[in-house]
Amino acid sequence: MSDPYDPPRPRDYALQQELESLREREGHQTPEEQRRAEQLERRLRVDEHDAEERERRDRDREADREEEEKRWHRH
């Protein structure tokens, strides 16, 4: 999972800012603005999921590397 203390990526920040701007108009949104808000929410969820997957792969790769080093030191 992404560290909440990590600074947001520039693209995510821009998407989040646009989404917040649209949410401020909630109740007064045009259908296009509503669709755009839904699109931004989906994109942010996908970006977060992708970041979590990358972090998991990085951790797995590091664990594999450490395990390989341990095997080399035993022999």
DSSP 3-state helix, strand, coil percentages of the chain (rounded to 5)? 80, 0, 20
- What pTM, to 2 d.p., does this model score? 0.61
pLDDT of 1 over the 50 cut: no
| Token pair belonging to 40 | 């931004």
What pLDDT was estimated at residue 16? Answer: 86
CA atoms within 13 A on the CB side of 26: 7
Better pLDDT: 22 or 2: 22
**What is the tens place of the pLDDT at every residue in 9-65?**
677 888 888 888 888 877 778 889 889 999 999 999 999 999 999 999 999 999 999
Better pLDDT: 1 or 19: 19
